[in-house]
Structure 1
Amino acid sequence: MAEPVELAPDYYLSNFHALVEFVVTRYDALLSDEERSFHQCFCALDTDSQRLYVRLLSRKGVPSSFGALFRQSKLAYQEINNLPQAAETLVTTGLFLRNPAPDLTEILPLFTKTELLASSAEPLPKTLKRPALEQALLAQDHDALRARLTLDEPLLAVQAAAHFETFKLLFFGNLNQDLTDYVLRDLGLFRYENYPLEQSQLPFKSRSQVERYLHYYACLAQAEQVLSEDAQAITTLAAELPENAQGDTTLQRRLDRLRLALARQLERLQALEAANTLYHQCQRPPARERRARIAATQGDTDAALAVCAQILGQPENAQEREFAASFGHRTAKKTPHCDNWPAPKRYRAPTHTVTLVQTDERVEVRAAQYLADTAAGNQCFYVENTLINGVLGLAIWDIVFAPIPGAFFNPFQVAPSDFRSADFYPQRQAAFTQRLGELQETGLGKWVWHHYREKRGIANPLVHWDGLSEPLLELALSQIPTGHWLALFRRLLNDIAHHRSGFPDLILFPTGGGYELVEIKGPGDRLQQNQQRWLAYFAQHRIPHQVLHVEWGTL
């Protein structure tokens, strides 16, 4: 990993320029006239003014109807040589608004608690918490209070922030990230793969698509407040969500997540019909599960069983299939005319119990020591989810970062944008099929060691470098049969978002050869569902495994 470096005082300005120039170079045709004017206006500023604008654009400020508010006297940045002149320039160009007239509720947060106490028309206890203090002041005469709070300094409101939101969306593909990603790279804390970002591969193709994303994020910003209100407010917001007529899979995933959250709250409010309507609009789990539960709650067991049968006919993932089998069986048992729904089978893994002396070490570490000591030459590693995921990540590294249209928005992605979605495997199916066939013929060593040495330290969603030592890799590649690796890889790739967790804690390499995956359970600990699913899969493919229960004892 690269050595950390000291950043220049105005590193943020260089990063801002890099972001907007990336967008202008690739997406100029999608920008509005106002967004292009914003870019041109900013580029024409002197360096001090650019620094001050980006500083305040990146800060939270006090939200108001005029933009984020700041008191000029509270601003101090060593790298800005003449801050008052920079502020004046920004006011002249329209990027700052000087001394707007915000509502009193927007003014109070600009002042310290000491200042607010001094502004009161009557003495207030110093022990008042800030929210109570502001409420007490708002109960006083507003005109008089505003007069007492009159600033002897400029009040600045940042303008054109919405234009930069568009630039951020086009660069990051979302409005959850910010310029921090640049900082992490520049500090040497993250290294990103150098994947291609050609025009033809970029995800945004039209201005209408950009508008739909901006509309979605505007709705998302309202969701937190709306979810604390009544059912009418939730259904009103749901009705305002953008259409996705063009079949944008990334936007659909985001709309599904928001609809699921809104529908789940409607369920809690007992607005079941409204919730069911939203679930019908969702294409992803657990929408069908919730529909089945609502039908059963309403006493329509036939409808509930029909949804379960639909899921079993074409499940999205193992969790959905498991739900349908279990819930369908329980529902059918309560339905007099439906007695042919089989009970789901539950696999019971080989299980052993051992008593160990408790120390300050984790139970998995103590168990690994125990297993290593059971025979001379045994080697046991605490790997959990790092080994099998990591070997897969190394074996398919180039496919993960292949230039699939819409997969990469910018240079700072640990993974393609669809990595955790149901679209990840189908989009690359031909490449995965070819690679698994090649691994079957030649073994894993070629691809794994090539990427291990060439990509060391670069971020990959499957590879946790600290958990992949060379001795561990050498043992794993030599003692785990290729057929077992391929069986593990196929299940992982089938649903990478859900299947990359739940692996056993330890891998044991006995002195006589071979290997065994060992799940450790301490006192009171139980198998989780994703762990149970992997154990059942191991049994199906003859992959050696056991569950080891650890009890604490004394010498």
Structure 2
Amino acid sequence: MADPIELAPDYYLGNFHALVDFVVARYENLLSDSERHFYNEFRALNTDSQRLYVRLLSRKGVASSAGALFRLHKLAYDEIGDLPTAAEALVNADLLQRDPPLPLAELLPLFTKSELSDSSIEVLPKALKRAALEQALLQQDADAVRSQLTDSETVLAVQGAEHFQTFKLLFFGNLNQDLTDYVLRDLGLFRYEQYPLEREQLPFQTRAQLEQHLRYYDCVKEAEFALVGGIDEITALAAQLPEGIDGDSTLHRRLDRLRLTLARQLERLDALSEADHLYRQCSRPPARERRARIAIARGDTPQGLALCREILAAPHHEEEREFAERFGFRTAKKAGETEGWVAPQRHVPPTETVALPAARQRVETLAADHLVQRAPGNQCFYVENTLINGVLGLYVWDILFAPVPGAFFNPFQIAPSDFRSADFYPQRRAAFEQRLAALNEKSLKQRVWRHYHDKWGIANPLTAWDALPESLLTLALERIPVPHWQVLFRRLLGDIAHHRSGLPDLILFPEQGNYELVEVKGPGDRLQQNQQRWLAFFARHQIPHRVLHVEWTAQ
């Protein structure tokens, strides 16, 4: 990776320029008149005023109905020469409002407890806590208290923040990220792959689509209050959710996630009919699981079993299938209707128990040392979720970063936006199938080593560079047979969100050849469900594996 560099004092301004300029260059036709005006007014400012605006926009001021509040004389930035003049220009551009008319209650949080005490027009007990002090001031003459507080004081309210939200959404594709991504790039902490960002491939294509995404984020904020409210508040919010846009899988995923959250709370409130109604609107897990549980809770066994059969006929992922097998069989057995239902079987992996002296090192390191000491020619590496994922990331690098419409919002993505979703594989099915069909020893080694050397240090969601030394990669490509890579890759690509974790801790390369995957469990530790699924998968495909239980020897 590149050596870290020292940032300029106003690095943030260059990042802000890059963000808003990117959006205008690609999305100007989607921006409203007020959003375009916001951009033009900002760009016309002098540099100091731009610096001050970005500083304030990035800070968390005191929230108010007029915008985030700041006290002018409390602001100090070394890179801004004449701060009052910079602020004046922002006021003239309507990007700051000077001394906005506000209810006293919104003004009080700007000031310290000491300042509030001094502003009281009545003698108040000094021992009052802040909340009680504010309440006492609100009982006094509001104009007099306001005058006392703001005498020789300039209060500034940031304007246009809602417009910047639109710019952020268009750039990042969400409202959870910020300009920190630029900072990480500028510090040399991340290098990003280069991929096309042409207008026709970008995720947002219409203003209506953009408005629905903005509405979704408004609903997320409202959900914080609805979830602690009650049934009426939750159902009212659910009715206000945007409908979604055909072809916009990102918005559909987000809406499903919010509906699932709301419906789960309705369940907790015993509003089962309302919860079931919301679950029916969701196309992703665990909606069918929750509906099956609700049906059984309401005494509707046929409906519960029918939903389990529906899942088994077309499961979204293994976890959902396992639920339907277990819950369906248990429910059918209880109802005396077991015909067609089979008790789920759990794979029991090969297991060995060893006694080792306790030490400060991780138990995995102790286990690896033990396996090497058994035969000096053995080689053992701690890999957990890095080796198989990493090799897959190198083998399909170009497909991972292919310009699929809607996959990339900006130049600073470690992964396509749908990487962890059920849409990831179907969107690239033809390319993945062709690549996997062509998998042989020569093509695997050629692609992996080419990308290993050409892409070293570039961020990839599957490849952790520091965990892939050449010695490990060389042995893995030599010892793991192509048919094993084939099935491992297929399982990972089929459901990356669930399958890229739970892989064994160690890979052992015995002196005589071959390889073995070893899951290490220390005293009191048990296999997790995703680990059990991988071990069962290994058994089905004759991939060598075992569980090594470590116990401590008596001192």
TM-score over 0.5 for the pair = yes
Q: Which residue of 2 aligns with 1:481?
A: 481
Distance 1:41 1:307, change over 3 A: same
TM-fit CA distance, 1:458? 0.6
Kept in 2: contact 1:368–1:380 (CA 8 A): yes
Q: Which residue of 2 aligns with 1:512?
A: 512
Which stretch of structure 1 is more off in the superposition, 291-300 or 535-544?
A: 291-300
TM-fit CA distance, 1:135? 4.5
Q: Which residue of 2 aligns with 1:196?
A: 196
Which stretch of structure 1 is more off in the superposition, 218-227 or 534-543?
A: 218-227
Map 1:228-243 to 2 at 5 A. 228-243=228-243
TM-fit CA distance, 1:438? 2.1
Give 3-state SS (helix, strand or coil) of 2:548's partner: strand
**In the aligned structure 2, how far is the partner of 1:205 from the partner of 1:420?**
23
Q: Does 1:463 align with 2:463?
A: yes
Give the residue type in structure 1 aligned to 2:292: A
Q: Which residue of 2 aligns with 1:276?
A: 276
**In the aligned structure 1, how far is the partner of 2:78 from the partner of 2:186?**
21
**In the aligned structure 1, how far is the partner of 2:425 from the partner of 2:88?**
54
Q: Which residue of 2 aligns with 1:356?
A: 356
**In the aligned structure 2, how far is the partner of 1:138 from the partner of 1:492?**
61
**In the aligned structure 2, how far is the partner of 1:117 from the partner of 1:532?**
63
Map 1:304-323 to 2 at 5 A. 304-323=304-323
**In the aligned structure 1, how far is the partner of 2:108 from the partner of 2:239?**
35
Give the residue type in structure 2 aligned to 1:396: V
Q: Does 1:106 align with 2:106?
A: yes
**In the aligned structure 2, how far is the partner of 1:133 from the partner of 1:505?**
58
Distance 1:371 1:17, change over 3 A: same
**In the aligned structure 2, how far is the partner of 1:132 from the partner of 1:310?**
58
Map 1:335-414 to 2 at 5 A. 335-414=335-414
TM-fit CA distance, 1:500? 0.2
Give 3-state SS (helix, strand or coil) of 1:149's partner: helix
1:100-144, Cα deviation, whole Å (9 max, x unpaired): 12223321221123323433444445584x555545544656455
TM-fit CA distance, 1:448? 0.6
Q: Which residue of 2 aligns with 1:424?
A: 424
Q: Which residue of 2 aligns with 1:26?
A: 26
Runs of 5+ consecutive residues of structure 2 not aligned to the other structure: none
Give 3-state SS (helix, strand or coil) of 1:444's partner: helix
**In the aligned structure 2, how far is the partner of 1:216 from the partner of 1:304?**
31
Q: Does 1:47 align with 2:42?
A: no
Distance 1:486 1:151, change over 3 A: farther
TM-fit CA distance, 1:149? 2.3
**In the aligned structure 2, how far is the partner of 1:339 from the partner of 1:368?**
48
Q: Which residue of 2 aligns with 1:334?
A: 334
Distance 1:554 1:78, change over 3 A: same
**In the aligned structure 2, how far is the partner of 1:118 from the partner of 1:359?**
61
TM-fit CA distance, 1:179? 1.1
1:387-423, Cα deviation, whole Å (9 max, x unpaired): 1100000110111000000000000100000100111
Kept in 2: contact 1:328–1:341 (CA 8 A): yes
TM-score, with structure 2 as normaliser:
0.97
TM-fit CA distance, 1:89? 1.0
Q: Which residue of 2 aligns with 1:214?
A: 214
Distance 1:124 1:322, change over 3 A: farther
Distance 1:377 1:272, change over 3 A: same
Q: Which residue of 2 aligns with 1:175?
A: 175
Q: Which residue of 2 aligns with 1:224?
A: 224
1:306-361, Cα deviation, whole Å (9 max, x unpaired): 11000000000011001010110111111134444211111110111111111111
TM-fit CA distance, 1:529? 0.6
Q: Which residue of 2 aligns with 1:501?
A: 501
Kept in 1: contact 2:209–2:245 (CA 8 A): no
Give the residue type in structure 2 aligned to 1:520: V
Which stretch of structure 1 is more off in the superposition, 329-338 or 400-409?
A: 329-338
Map 1:16-165 to 2 at 5 A. 16-120=16-120, 121-125=122-126, 128=129, 130-131=130-131, 133-135=133-135, 137-138=137-138, 142-165=142-165
Kept in 1: contact 2:400–2:415 (CA 8 A): yes
**In the aligned structure 2, how far is the partner of 1:513 from the partner of 1:109?**
70
TM-fit CA distance, 1:443? 4.5
Distance 1:323 1:136, change over 3 A: farther
1:131-183, Cα deviation, whole Å (9 max, x unpaired): 55545544656455434323421100111111111111111111111111111
**In the aligned structure 2, how far is the partner of 1:181 from the partner of 1:4?**
15
TM-score, with structure 1 as normaliser:
0.97
Q: Which residue of 1 aligns with 2:523?
A: 523
CA RMSD of aligned residues (A): 1.5
1:219-255, Cα deviation, whole Å (9 max, x unpaired): 1121112211111111111111101142411100000
**In the aligned structure 2, how far is the partner of 1:293 from the partner of 1:314?**
18
Give 3-state SS (helix, strand or coil) of 1:439's partner: coil
Give the residue type in structure 1 aligned to 2:235: T
Give 3-state SS (helix, strand or coil) of 1:384's partner: coil
Give the residue type in structure 1 aligned to 2:309: A
Kept in 2: contact 1:72–1:153 (CA 8 A): yes
**In the aligned structure 1, how far is the partner of 2:118 from the partner of 2:373?**
71
**In the aligned structure 2, how far is the partner of 1:320 from the partner of 1:132?**
52
Q: Does 1:244 align with 2:215?
A: no
Q: Which residue of 1 aligns with 2:257?
A: 257
The count of corresponding residues between Structure 1 and Structure 2 is 554
1:188-233, Cα deviation, whole Å (9 max, x unpaired): 1111101111112111111111111111111112111221111111
1:280-314, Cα deviation, whole Å (9 max, x unpaired): 11111111111111111111111111110000000
Which stretch of structure 1 is more off in the superposition, 76-85 or 138-147?
A: 138-147
Distance 1:456 1:134, change over 3 A: farther
Give 3-state SS (helix, strand or coil) of 1:381's partner: strand
Kept in 1: contact 2:245–2:251 (CA 8 A): no
1:88-109, Cα deviation, whole Å (9 max, x unpaired): 1111111111101222332122
TM-fit CA distance, 1:441? 6.0
Give the residue type in structure 2 aligned to 1:194: Q
Give 3-state SS (helix, strand or coil) of 2:204's partner: coil
**In the aligned structure 1, how far is the partner of 2:406 from the partner of 2:415?**
12
Give the residue type in structure 2 aligned to 1:56: L
Q: Does 1:14 align with 2:39?
A: no
Q: Which residue of 1 aligns with 2:292?
A: 292
Give the residue type in structure 2 aligned to 1:20: V
Give the residue type in structure 1 aligned to 2:448: V
Q: Which residue of 2 aligns with 1:453?
A: 453
**In the aligned structure 1, how far is the partner of 2:325 from the partner of 2:103?**
57
**In the aligned structure 1, how far is the partner of 2:140 from the partner of 2:266?**
39
Give 3-state SS (helix, strand or coil) of 1:354's partner: strand
**In the aligned structure 2, how far is the partner of 1:132 from the partner of 1:516?**
67
1:414-445, Cα deviation, whole Å (9 max, x unpaired): 00001001111111111111111222363521
Runs of 5+ consecutive residues of structure 1 not aligned to the other structure: none
Which stretch of structure 1 is more off in the superposition, 340-349 or 65-74?
A: 340-349
Give the residue type in structure 2 aligned to 1:27: Y
